[in-house]
Amino acid sequence: MKIFCILGLGRSGVDFLQSLFDNHPNISQFPGYFFYDQFWKEIESVENPEIIAETFIKRHQRFFNSKIYLIERHNQLGDRKNDSFIINKNKFKKKFIELQKIISKRSILINLHCAYSYASGEDIKKKKVIVINIHNINHLKNIKDLDFEIFFSIRHPISSLSSGFKHWLNYSPKNVDNWFLNYQINRIYNGIKNCLALKKKIYIVRLDLLHTKNKSIMMKICKKMKIKYNKILSKSTYHNLRWWGDKLSNKYLNGINNNFKDTYDSNFFFNKDIQYLEFYLTPFIKKYKLKNFSKAKIIKFKKILPLKIELILWKKLIYNFNFAQIFLIPFYWAKRIILIEKSYNKKINYPEMIK
């Protein structure tokens, strides 16, 4: 079976892309992100399949009872937003034990997926592809010895940063700190470059095109996977129940949006911020044919000035008397300047985009 990992920029539709793969007869996947590196570290010395299955169930209860998967709104599935799913744990465990004959990182990964598909009532004889929502590159590095290919989801980087900061600030403000902002910026400027270091096949998927040219894009994705296109790939579901997007969105998203456009919240950026951020993203923006929100010019001294998004964060930290984070402001300020400066590389061989 071929293995495909999906990840991307912040708020770039990674979970949305996974939801489109749901219920395809040739695809086996778990309903949500799965950090196999962490799971493998826990069970790599275990030889008893029953213990492996029980450990998986214990660590991933949300895959078996979607009512507890609140942040992804898997407790509000279906047309009326009141459905959920239950997967039989005993059926899963029994099938995994039956399938698991050879202990290896690859065989355990495949058999966990096949057992889950079987417990979900799917025909595992038809499964040809495993899709893993790995979400970010940090969880790929420790499983790079596996043979897999990557679908990397992108959107306009300014939209990514704007959406990620705004939605997390509304949903869980305590988690928005200096580290969080630095992580989001690094993901934008170095995410694809870090993936290239893994020396895997990478396919770029643009979120807006996934909406506005859905059938064409999904047909080309199927070609990369070597499976047949199915009209089910135009439906955003989990366990064949309509998915309305995660809680961070602050609204219910009804699947494919033919009018989708990348935008950003101007309340979080000065004009000079957009100029600065886009200037250092010029090769990325040109490669993937994204529009500029401003003219890509920058006055050199402006790059050392605080971004509006940083000032908003610092004000929040001071207001909450978060002295540990306040102390780290100069460090992360300098780190951001150096990170973006070093990221600029006109010669980087960006992966091709599915278009």
Nearest to 139 by CA among 51, 27, 35: 35
pLDDT at position 249 is 86
**Which residues are registered as beta bridge partners of 5?**
132, 150
Q: Count of alpha carbons within 13 Å of 266, Cβ hemisphere only?
A: 4
- Model pTM? 0.95
Reading the block at residue 178, the tokens are 């200096």
Q: How far is CA 196 from the centre of its chain?
A: 17
Per-domain residue ranges of the chain:
2-157+200-249
Task: Over range 128-138, report the average pLDDT.
Answer: 93
Is residue 205 within 8 Å of residue 154, measured between CB atoms? Answer: yes
Is residue 269 within 8 Å of residue 306, measured between CB atoms? Answer: no
Question: Tokens 């971004």 label which residue?
Answer: 307
Q: Which positions ≥6 away from 82 have C-beta within 8 Å?
A: 76
The C-alpha atoms of residue 304 and residue 314 are separated, in whole angstroms, by 16
- Chain segment 296-338, per-residue pLDDT in tens: 676 778 889 999 999 999 999 999 999 999 999 999 999 999 9
pLDDT at position 346 is 76
pLDDT at position 196 is 95
The burial of 149, by beta-carbon neighbours within 10 Å (0-12 exposed, 13-18 middle, 19 or more buried), is given as middle
Reading the block at residue 129, the tokens are 């592809």
Name the phi and psi angles at 17, rounded to 5. -60, -45
pLDDT at position 136 is 84
Name which of 123-137, 264-278, 289-303, 333-347 the model is least confident about. Answer: 289-303
Instruction: For the chain, give the mean pLDDT.
Output: 95
The C-alpha atoms of residue 3 and residue 38 are separated, in whole angstroms, by 18
Does an H or E element contain 167, and which? Answer: helix 157-171
- Chain segment 151-185, per-residue pLDDT in tens: 999 999 999 999 999 999 999 999 999 999 999 99
pLDDT at position 296 is 63
